[in-house]
């Protein structure tokens, strides 16, 4: 395992860079978590929602939905103008604004429609907006459960009774959540924080592993290793094992930071293992991609450009820094050829997963796609290293 040991010897020159990156990222995480996570006082009052509702549908379903919101939130009366709504959201007069469009009731009752369209906006108080959004999500998910109980369509003569049952069913659930607001908010912040770790993984792996690999792939160093009797296959295996070990240690360190700030009790949440699994698979996929591109490059100048542009471009187009709903569809389609957008979508799916009827099929699909990408780039790297070996020989 001479190549394995040599890899970490070469990496010693990057220790200062690693510590600097981790220090900067630790500060960023601290600010992000403090900004998103409510204070202890706010945490106790997180269920005191202030929601403005504009109902353009006026159907029995939309009226029942509004009545449900009124039972669990303070309904704020606002003037229906953009200026009034923006002022209310900014000043904290409303934490969430919901515009119910025409046809909402028909969409909710449609057997082919799983989630009716709602135009909703949150305030600058992100944790309170998240809590309000969960009220909406709970209603829609429970409505779908009742709809499926009728085989996909609720009979007209059973509609009023069913709407009352839904509100009664949610009464106990939402009341219970009032005592768990802090954990719910922390879980949402944990999902956002996991998304930020994707950028850290991309930036550090491309910069640190890239610099070490380029040094080891120097033709003089490589010839010396081959002349000393180290088979190329063994050398490649040692390098891959070293990069994997470094990546896993870095990944574990980032997770320890997250849970130390938010509380290790979140590990007991049923969604936490799924977030960890998606994060690990994403790390493996990024490692395979970085190995390929670094093998393709030949000098540290191009590496510096690659690591900066690659990490920022991938993060901005995949939903790490900008929510996916604000990213144009063509950009998302291009980003889908990289694993990060699948990891972000999987995280969003996990966080918004209803507790009553969880369905992790999309999460499995996303992890499978990322593993296929990792396998493809690993094979390309091995082929590229084989061709380089022949050229040296």
pTM: 0.62
116: left (phi over 0), alpha (psi -120 to 50) or beta: beta
Per-residue pLDDT, 42: 43
Rounded to the nearest 10°, the torsion over CA 215, 221, 226, 231 is -20
Domains, the chain: 2-37+183-392 (no CATH), 48-177 (3.40.1710)
Helix 361-392 vs helix 232-262: crossing angle, to nearest 10: 150
Per-residue pLDDT, 43: 42
Instruction: Give SS3 for 360.
Output: coil
Instruction: Give SS3 for 55.
Output: strand
Which two three-digit tokens encode residue 51? Answer: 């929601």
Q: What is the 3-state secondary structure (H, E, C) of the chain?
A: CHHHHHHHHHHHHHHHHHHHHHHHHHHHHHHHHHHHCCCHHHHHCCCCEEEEEEECCCCHHHHHHHHHHHHHEEECCCCCCHHHHHHHHHHCCCCEEEEECCCHHHHHHCCCCCCCCCEEEECCCHHHHHHHHHHHHHHHHHHHHHHHHCCCCCCHHHHHHHHHHHHHHHHHHHHHHCCCHHHHHHHHHHHHHHHHHHHHHHHHHHHHHHHHHHHHCCHHHHHHHHHCCCCHHHHHHHHHHHHHHHHHHHHHHHHHHHHHHHCHHHHHCCCHHHHHHHHHHHHHHHHHHHHHHHHHCCCHHHHHHHHHHHHHHHHHHHCCCCCHHHCCHHHHHHHCCCHHHHHHHHHHHHHCCCCCCCCCHHHHHHHHHHHHHHHHHHHHHHHHHHHHHHHHC
Q: Which residues pair with 97 in a beta bridge?
A: 52, 121
List all residues 6 or more positions away from 20 whose beta carbon is below 8 Å from its beta carbon.
Answer: none
Rounded to the nearest 10°, the torsion over CA 243, 249, 252, 258 is -100
Q: Which of 354, 356, 352 is nearest to 325 (CA)?
A: 352
Q: Which residues pair with 53 in a beta bridge?
A: 98
pLDDT < 70 stretches in the chain = 1-4, 6-8, 10-11, 13-14, 21, 28-29, 31-48, 124-127, 172-185, 215-232, 235, 298-301, 356, 388-393
Q: Which of 280, 245, 266, 272 is nearest to 366 (CA)?
A: 280
Per-residue pLDDT, 23: 77
Gap between the Cα atoms of 306 and 309, Å rounded: 5
Per-residue pLDDT, 339: 94
The strand order across the sheet containing 73-75 reads 73-75, 49-55, 96-100, 119-122
Q: Which residues pair with 54 in a beta bridge?
A: 99
Per-residue pLDDT, 177: 40
Per-residue pLDDT, 174: 47
b/e code 149-163 from CB counts within 10 Å (16+ = b)? eeeeebeeeebeebb
Q: Cα dist. 221→15, 35, 156 in Å?
A: 21, 48, 78
Please provide the average confidence, as pLDDT, over all residues in the chain: 79
Is residue 101 within 8 Å of 119, Cβ to Cβ?
Answer: yes
Gap between the Cα atoms of 146 and 150, Å rounded: 7
Q: What is the pLDDT of residues 323-345, one digit of tens each?
A: 787 788 888 888 899 999 999 99
């Amino acid at each position: 395992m001479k190549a394995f040991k040599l890899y970490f010897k070469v990496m010693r020159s990057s220790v200062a860079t690693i510590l600097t990156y981790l220090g900067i990222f630790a500060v960023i995480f601290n600010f992000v978590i403090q900004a998103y996570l409510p204070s202890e006082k706010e945490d106790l009052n997180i269920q005191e929602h202030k929601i403005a509702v504009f109902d353009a549908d006026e159907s029995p379903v939309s009226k029942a939905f509004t009545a449900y919101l009124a039972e669990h939130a303070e309904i704020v009366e606002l003037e229906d103008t953009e200026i009034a709504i923006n002022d209310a959201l900014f000043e904290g007069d409303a934490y969430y604004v919901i515009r119910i469009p025409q046809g909402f009731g028909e969409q909710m009752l449609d057997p082919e429609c799983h989630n009716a369209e709602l135009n909703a906006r949150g305030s600058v108080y992100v944790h309170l907006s998240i809590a309000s959004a969960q009220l909406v999500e709970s209603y829609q998910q429970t409505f779908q459960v009742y709809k499926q109980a009728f085989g996909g369509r609720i009979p007209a003569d059973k509609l009023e009774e069913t709407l009352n049952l839904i509100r009664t069913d949610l009464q106990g659930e939402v009341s219970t959540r009032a005592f768990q607001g802090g954990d719910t908010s922390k879980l949402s912040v944990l999902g956002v924080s996991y998304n930020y770790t994707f950028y850290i993984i991309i930036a550090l792996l491309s910069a640190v592993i890239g610099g070490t690999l380029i040094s080891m792939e120097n033709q003089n160093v490589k010839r010396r290793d081959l002349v000393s009797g180290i088979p190329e296959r063994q050398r490649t295996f040692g390098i891959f094992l070293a990069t994997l070990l470094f990546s896993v240690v870095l990944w574990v360190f980032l997770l320890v930071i997250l849970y130390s700030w938010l509380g290790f009790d979140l590990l007991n949440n049923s969604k936490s293992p799924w977030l960890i699994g998606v994060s690990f698979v994403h790390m493996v996929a990024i490692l395979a991609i970085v190995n390929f591109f670094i093998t393709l490059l030949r000098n540290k100048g191009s590496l510096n450009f690659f690591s900066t542009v690659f990490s920022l471009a991938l993060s901005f187009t995949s939903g790490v820094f900008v929510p996916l709903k604000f990213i144009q569809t063509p950009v998302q389609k291009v980003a889908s050829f990289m694993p990060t957008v699948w990891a972000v979508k999987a995280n969003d799916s996990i966080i918004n997963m209803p507790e009553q009827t969880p369905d992790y099929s999309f999460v499995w699909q996303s992890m499978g796609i990322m593993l296929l990408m990792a396998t493809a780039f690993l094979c390309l790297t091995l082929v590229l290293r084989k061709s380089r070996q022949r050229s040296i020989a």
